């Protein structure tokens, strides 16, 4: 089974780049399942039913999120009623929506999980124990399990990779919007990468227009940050998984640029 994972899709430039390129990429790479992080799909902060629809129209199967998930009020309702959109599972009990999605690739069940880190982020419930619980709940029938660990600190993400090694097929990080080059198969067969990166404008500060962000850092005055415009970097990884035992056999970066 070939899975394509796409970093945080940032605003209209990110959505348009996927609409323009993902259908052909899906075919040429013989991709069976596409996961994208959509927490920045609505003008760089949050997601709406319209931006979710646009990602699904481009060929995304499951949308994961993170700390920006609730930035648009309508997400509270959208995430609750759209099972293909998930939010971190370590939010407090009673939070709208789900932290997991069970989908099928042919006859093979695939579980997608989303958790959020705690270092330099809002302190949610322990993501390690929350993922233990989710895996216990999944039981042993589901072999292919994919985890989006949305976190700031590379140390927490790498620790999570080793924590889940051999228990899931893939752990990929999101949130920093900067792609890391440490894609690898961990000793017990889990594919891992610290951060996918983003689908966002190259001349930007993690998706935002450079000048206002820069002014904010240098003047310490309030600034009007807004999404950048221009050509887009698309950061993804392609992961090959043995559907019989859930072990990953390869993970490779597939990054490209859309003018
Ligand atoms: Fe993000
Ligand atoms: Fe984030």
Write down the pLDDT at residue 195: 98
Note the ligand closest to the C-alpha atom of 68. 2
Position 222 scores a pLDDT of: 87
Structure tokens belonging to residue 203: 């001349």
Ligand 2 center–CA 30 separation, angstroms: 29
Question: How many A from CA of 76 to the centre of ligand 2?
Answer: 17
Ligand 2: distance of its center to the CA of 241 in Å?
26
Q: How far is Cα 166 from Cα 86, in angstroms, rounded to an integer? A: 23
Domain count, the chain: 1
User: pLDDT confidence of 193, banded at 50, 70, 90?
Assistant: very high
Q: Examine the residue annotation and report whether 177 is marked as an active-site residue of this protein.
A: no
The runs of H, that is alpha helices, within 107-178 are: 127-138, 154-164
Taking only the tens place, the pLDDT of each residue in 39-97 is 999 999 999 999 999 999 999 999 999 999 999 999 999 999 999 999 999 999 999 99
Q: How many angstroms is it from 141 CA to the middle of ligand 2?
A: 31
- Is 245 exposed, middle or buried, given 0-12, 13-18 or 19+ CB atoms closer than 10 A? exposed
Residue 191: which pLDDT band, with cuts at 50, 70 and 90? very high
As a whole number of angstroms, the distance between CA 96 and CA 119 comes to 23
Which one from 68, 150, 175, 177 is the annotated catalytic residue?
68
Domain that holds residue 196: 2-258
Residue that is written with structure tokens 């610290």 in the block: 194
Is residue 254 over pLDDT 90? yes
Q: Which residue has the tokens 């619980």?
A: 133
Find how far residue 114's CA is from the centre of its chain. Answer: 8
From ligand 2's centre to the CA of 107, what distance in Å? Answer: 33
Question: How many percent of the chain have pLDDT more than 70?
Answer: 100
Q: At residue 186, does pLDDT exceed 90?
A: yes
Biggest distance spanned by C-alpha atoms of the chain: 57
Ligand nearest to the CA of 69: 2
- If one counts every other C-beta atom within 10 angstroms of the C-beta of residue 173, the result is 29
pLDDT for 223 beyond 90: no
pLDDT of residue 224: 87
Is residue 34 within 8 A of residue 6, CB to CB? The reply is: yes
Query: For residue 125, what is the domain's CATH number?
Result: 3.60.21.10
Q: What are the Cα distances from residue 128, in Å, to 72, 203, 222?
A: 28, 35, 37
Give distance in angstroms: CA of 70 to centre of ligand 1: 12
Q: How far is CA 62 from the centre of its chain?
A: 9
> What does the pLDDT average to over 187-191?
98
State residue 60's pLDDT score. Answer: 98
Report the separation in Å between the CA atom of 66 and the middle of ligand 2, taken as the mean of its atom positions.
5
Angle of helix 49-58 relative to helix 11-28, nearest 10 degrees? Answer: 30
Give the pLDDT band (50/70/90) at residue 135: very high
Q: Which residues contact 13 (CB under 8 A, 6 or more apart)?
A: 200, 201, 227, 228, 229, 230, 232
């Amino acid at each position: 089974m070939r899975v394509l994972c796409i970093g945080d899709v940032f605003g209209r430039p990110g959505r348009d780049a996927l609409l323009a390129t993902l259908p052909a990429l899906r075919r040429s790479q013989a991709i069976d399942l596409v996961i994208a992080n959509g927490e920045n799909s609505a003008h760089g902060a949050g997601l709406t039913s319209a931006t979710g629809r646009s990602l699904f129209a481009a060929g995304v199967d499951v949308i994961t999120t993170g700390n920006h998930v609730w930035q648009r009020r309508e997400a509270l309702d959208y995430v609750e009623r759209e099972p293909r959109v998930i939010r971190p599972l370590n939010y407090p009990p009673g939070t709208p929506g789900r932290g997991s999605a069970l989908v099928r690739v042919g006859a093979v069940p695939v579980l997608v999980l989303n958790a959020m880190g705690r270092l330099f982020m809002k302190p949610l419930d322990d993501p390690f124990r929350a993922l233990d619980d989710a895996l216990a709940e999944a039981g042993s029938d589901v072999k292919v399990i994919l985890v989006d660990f949305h976190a700031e600190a590379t140390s927490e993400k790498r620790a999570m990779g080793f924590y889940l090694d051999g228990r899931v097929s893939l752990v990929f990080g999101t949130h920093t919007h900067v792609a890391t080059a440490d894609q690898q198969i961990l000793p017990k067969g889990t594919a891992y990468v610290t951060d996918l990166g983003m689908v966002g404008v190259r001349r930007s500060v993690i998706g935002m227009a450079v000048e206002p962000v820069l002014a904010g850092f240098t003047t310490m005055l309030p600034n009007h940050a807004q999404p950048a415009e221009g050509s887009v970097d698309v950061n993804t990884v392609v992961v090959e998984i043995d559907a019989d035992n859930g072990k990953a056999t390869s993970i490779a970066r597939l990054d490209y640029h859309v003018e």
